[in-house]
Chain A
Amino acid sequence: MNPAVLIASVYVFALAAFLGYQVISRVPPLLHTPLMSATNAISGISLIGSLVLAGAAHYPTFAHILGFIAVTTATINVVGGFGLTDRMLKMFNKRKLPAAKEANQ
């Protein structure tokens, strides 16, 4: 990484931080648990770094194995995180559901 790229990256970081602050301040406390689960799933984007490590050319096998574990844990977060977030969000209803849909208990 050369200094010019670093500076560009710091700009991206600062602007993303500002944007994140603005967007996330508006999330109501009602949705804080799904929010945590959702941001967790989104930061599972480190999967793309793991994919490269697991499969790129000219990398030693040790790197591939580290990559394999990283791909696994990141995928758990992506699949599990999005799945759970959706499961939670489905439960938030403004009005009561008709009695037929109450499958709990």
Chain B
Amino acid sequence: MTPTAWFMEATYLIASILFVLALKGMSHPDTARRGMFLAEAGMFAAIVGTLVGTHIVTWTWIIAGLACGSIIGAWMAIWVPMTAMPQRTALSHAFGALAAALVGIGEFVVHGPAMPGITRGALGFEVMLGALTTTGSLIAAGKLQGVIHGKPIQFRGQNIVNFAIFAGMIAAFAAFWIHPTAHLAFYSMLGVAFVFGVMLVIPIGSADMPVVMSLLNSYAGLASAATGFVLGNNVLIIAGTLDGFSGLILSILMCKAMNRSITNVLFGGFGAVIAEASSNADGVMREISLDDAAMQLAFATRVVFVPGYGLATAQAQHAVRELAELLESRGVTVKYAIHPVAGRMPGHMNVLLAEANVPYSELCEMEQINPEFPSTDVAVIIGANDVVNPDARDNPKSLIAGMPILEVDRAKSVIVLKRGQGRGFSGLENPLFFKPRTTMLYGDAKSSLNHLTQAVQHV
């Protein structure tokens, strides 16, 4: 090996170690930023190592690519609002997967039939995973952005069609593996994988996005790991695997938080089912006036805010923080109850509230806050629905039976901020809204909260 090649390998080893240390830093908010600096250093070292250690003749494409990517990347890093974080993340899964797929195609163009069988196998995985993740993530991003309708798109025999497409993809892969010279097989595998990615995500409703996002994250990582197998590059295998397993762990956590299996999320088409009235919901919803709500809050001892996706759509994170601060200045103890699947991606609510300068010590996980509800005077629900539906706990016939919920119904009183009388994504009635201790405050969450703040000031 030449000295430059040794140097390159050394930078790869350093990068691998730094990546692991970076993720270790993520275990606490105080160490997370320092950890990310390590990862950035590792990435920089690996890039320099590659440029030094590889025999590079054409710098034009490299410089152009680095420049374009840096400009777009920096633009995204600076300008993307926190409310658009789910779309941005879905898009970045697509970019990562596309890069992996393109490297795979490039390897095929350059080395083609000369590749040994094992490498061809890894290449097939790389290209298939990369391609299906690219289109799947683009569809997910479109749904989250609202370009594509968020409702599940379903038709009769969908699972059979999808299985046929999957079988076609595997058949093309097998044909390519057996006949390395068959360009047609390789490119059909690529094309079918692109189609399969689309078919995989369109039947899934927006509210299941936390699981889908995590799974796509996992696929994108595994595509990178497969690239590592093709190129015989360990740092790629390590970084890709870390990403892949991070996504996998998150998908499992999200599924647990909904009490559903991954297969059910992927093939169940949950959001399309409109449940027949097998719920305990009857009676009337009682509306509350702004002044009464303000009065309740102002004279409470403990208030818990329960944010859901409605908080994000109304961009009400600053408004809720202002109300919370005002209450705190009156001596009220304020906390936020965060359900693991609230929002459209794992941790969505935490990031929004942190952006509004809510200290993370006030952001409580489900297990932590549930025992506190009985001693809570007012629970304020902001655009959340299914994560507070007591049917999940009490009604074994409910569609969401067994899903762990925030037990707001045990609070002394509940105020629900809601746009209208509509149902949640699952189409379920929420008996919580009909309980005697629950009152409804209709309107856009942001303006409701602003008005509440003003009203509390005048109490």
Contact = CB atoms under 8 A, between A and B. Distances in A.
Contacts of A74: 69, 95-96, 99
B26 A48 contact: no
Interface string A81-98: 111111111111111110
B284 to A, nearest CB: 36
B441 interface: no
Contacts of B49: 48
Interface in B89-130: 89, 92-93, 95-96, 98-100, 102-103, 105-107, 109-110, 116, 118-119, 122
Contacts of B29: 28, 30-31, 89, 92, 94
Nearest to A25: B249
Q: Please classify how large the interface on chain B is, using the bins under 10, 10 to 19, 20 to 34, 35 or more.
A: 35 or more
B136 to A, nearest CB: 15
Given A51-B51, A67-B61, A91-B355, A46 B227 contact: yes
Contact of A16 (B66, B98, B118, B237): B237
A36 B73 contact: no
Q: Among B93, B325, B346, which residue has the most Cβ atoms of chain A within 10 A?
A: B346
A5 B237 CA distance: 13
B248 to A, nearest CB: 8
A37 B333 CA distance: 32
Contacts of B72: 72, 76, 80
A63 B110 contact: yes
Contacts of A6: 118, 229
Interface in B357-375: 357, 359-361, 363, 365
B217 A23 contact: no
Interface stretch (B40-48, B200-208, B286-294, B429-437): B40-48
B92 A80 contact: yes
B65 A48 contact: no
A6 B225 CA distance: 13
Contact of A1 (B95, B119, B224): B119
B112 to A, nearest CB: 11
B459 interface: no
B39 A70 contact: no
Nearest to A57: B57
Given A9-B237, A46-B224, A46-B240, A33 B58 contact: no
Contacts of A69: 65, 98, 102
Contacts of A13: 225, 229, 237, 241
B245 A33 contact: no
Most B-side CB within 10 Å, residue of A12, A57, A95? A12
Nearest to B31: A89
Contacts of B39: 38, 41-42, 82
Contact of A79 (B64, B70, B93): B70
Interface string B320-347: 0000010000000000001010000111
Contact of B89 (A37, A59, A66): A37
B96 A96 contact: no
A55 B221 CA distance: 24
A89 B96 contact: no
Contacts of B154: none
A89 B89 CA distance: 15
B109 A29 contact: no
Interface of B: 15, 19-20, 22-24, 26-30, 32-33, 36, 39-40, 43, 46-47, 49-51, 54-59, 61-62, 64-66, 68-70, 72-78, 80, 82, 85, 88-89, 92-93, 95-96, 98-100, 102-103, 105-107, 109-110, 116, 118-119, 122, 213-214, 217, 220-221, 224-225, 227-247, 249-250, 253, 318, 325, 338, 340, 345-348, 350-351, 354-357, 359-361, 363, 365
Q: What are the 9 A-B residue pairs with the smallest beta carbon separation, nearest first?
A: A75-B69, A83-B77, A71-B65, A79-B73, A32-B347, A80-B73, A32-B346, A33-B347, A43-B243
Interface of A: 1-3, 5-6, 9, 12-13, 16-17, 19-21, 23-57, 59-60, 62-97, 102, 104-105
23 contacts: A9-B228, A30-B29, A31-B32, A35-B347, A36-B214, A36-B345, A40-B93, A41-B39, A41-B43, A48-B46, A48-B49, A49-B100, A52-B56, A53-B106, A60-B110, A67-B61, A73-B95, A75-B68, A75-B70, A80-B75, A83-B76, A94-B359, A104-B318
